[in-house]
Amino acid sequence: MNDPLRLVIADDHEVTRTGFVALLADHPEFAVVGQACNGQEAVTLCETLHPDIAILDIRMPVLNGLGAARLMQQRLPAVKVVIFTMDDSTDHLEAAISAGAVGYLLKDARRNEVIDSLRRVARGEEALNGAVSARLLRRMADRNAGAATLPALEILTARERQVLQLVASGCSNREIGLRLGITTGTAKAHVERVIAKLNAADRTQAAVRGVALGLVPGQWS
């Protein structure tokens, strides 16, 4: 059996931290190795413990979750940051992505959503709340529409356009593979080619450019 993924959770409410630990109790693939009540404590803990994933609330004293995420991006780039919050603000999601977060979960998410999202993050994928990320995609696409050029449309194959649409819908590589009848490895390779061809930094930016270029249907409006 592989060693469990090591998590640090930071939230200024002890009840929330305790509840998160209880949520993971039946999933030995995860182990909470540290808890913090503010962002500065979270950074210090992560510098000491070097966890795989840091779960951060946004609203915390001393240093909030976004500030902690920015510090971790600079000092601890190997630690994957997931924001876990009640705040469904599009502004905060955009700030979280800019700060290096790869996950954005709402505290009213179902147990299986949280577990699935952590697994996706562990595989190197993003895990963003669907409703909030949809609004953000629309906003960013509108902001960047002027930069879209026709040649980018022409360099994607029909299969790659299908993959891009599924990426923009929030599908993981595994889900893309199941929908298209291909292996997860092949889906991953398609996603990487799409990101490269669109000169994007990651899946989220590729989805934004896909919307701006008209490659993704208007479900984000």
Please give the model's pTM, rounded to 2 decimal places: 0.71
Distance CA 39, CA 36 (A): 7
The answer for 56, left when phi > 0, alpha when psi is -120 to 50, beta otherwise, is beta
Q: What is the pLDDT along the chain (221 residues), one digit of tens a residue?
A: 578 999 999 999 999 999 999 999 899 999 999 999 999 999 999 999 999 999 999 999 999 999 999 999 999 999 999 999 888 777 887 788 878 888 888 888 889 989 998 998 998 887 776 566 656 666 665 655 555 544 555 578 889 989 998 888 778 898 999 999 999 999 999 999 998 888 877 787 787 777 767 777 654 44
What domains can you pick out in the chain, each with its CATH number?
Answer: 5-128 (3.40.50.2300), 147-212 (1.10.10.10)
So what's the pLDDT on residue 154? Answer: 58
Query: What residue type is 111 in one-letter code?
Result: R
So what's the pLDDT on residue 201? Answer: 72
Contact 115, 87 (CB under 8 A): no
Q: What is the DSSP letter of 4?
A: P
Query: What residue type is 133 in one-letter code?
Result: S
| Residue 82: strand, helix, or coil | strand
The residue length of the chain stands at: 221
So what's the pLDDT on residue 1? Answer: 58
Contact 133, 85 (CB under 8 A): no
So what's the pLDDT on residue 219? Answer: 47
Distance CA 7, CA 1 (A): 18
So what's the pLDDT on residue 146? Answer: 53
| Residue 77: strand, helix, or coil | coil
Tokens linked to 99: 């700060």
What's the alpha-carbon Rg for the chain, to the nearest Å?
Answer: 18
Tokens linked to 122: 């562990």
